[in-house]
Chain A
Amino acid sequence: MKDVTFYYVPDPGIDKATRKVVEILRPKIPVRLSAHHNMSKILVDCLFDTGSDRNLFPADWGRSVGLRIDRGKEVKIGGIGGKEITAFTHQIVLFVQGNKIITEADFSEEQTTPLLGRIGFMDKVSEVIVNQRKKFIQIIF
């Protein structure tokens, strides 16, 4: 079995008391997207989100590999604050450090941060270990 480890990635934050720039470490996984045999050359950071039911990606990313976003099955997705967004489901392939995951994702014009969720990501691998204290995610394929 193969496994890969990703250490949390620093994002900038503002300390509310001192107004100084601080780091906020987030569990991001760089992913390559492929659809209809069009492979993206770039890696895009996706937030690993156990609270997300499914993978949710920005529509721009899907278009970059030739997906016609609104040709997918329309789904509604609820989230924080009760806000509902519209997305379209597509069959895709994800590559995580060369490891291939055949899956599907929902693409939305209203979503900015790419999210890797439980269905379509976590359930496609053998095991995911999140170590919040040591700030890493280990994915076992």
Chain B
Amino acid sequence: MYNVLMILNDLIKLQNKWVAFSKDRKKIVNKASSLEDLLKKIKKKEDLIISFIQPADRYLSP
């Protein structure tokens, strides 16, 4: 069953990394240190959402 906290506990280990999620955002499909590397790793790009995971210990004001 999907649990936001479970995903967040996984994502906390992926701070400062690029992550590919399934389209429903319930599953982490792949990860890499740069967007370029992540795009190389992903074979089937359709139906994925890619996101940069911000550092968890600070606020974001881009």
Contact partners of A51 in chain B: CB under 8 A:
61-62
By secondary structure, the A interface counts as strand
Q: Mark A49-78, 1 if CB is under 8 A from B, else 0.
A: 101100000101101100000000000000
The residue on B at minimum CB distance from A58 is B35
Report how far A94 CA is from B44 CA in the complex, Å.
21
Contact partners of B8 in chain A: CB under 8 A:
10, 12, 21-23
With A11-B53, A21-B9, A30-B49 as known contacts, state yes or no: A42 contacts B39, CB within 8 Å.
yes
- Asked if residues A43 and B34 are in contact (CB atoms below 8 Å), the reply is no
Interface residues of B (CB under 8 A from A): 4-5, 7-9, 11-12, 15, 20, 23, 25, 34-36, 39, 42, 45-46, 48-54, 56-57, 60-62
Which 9 A-B residue pairings sit nearest by Cβ, starting from the closest? A41-B45, A45-B51, A60-B35, A12-B12, A60-B36, A12-B8, A12-B11, A12-B56, A42-B45
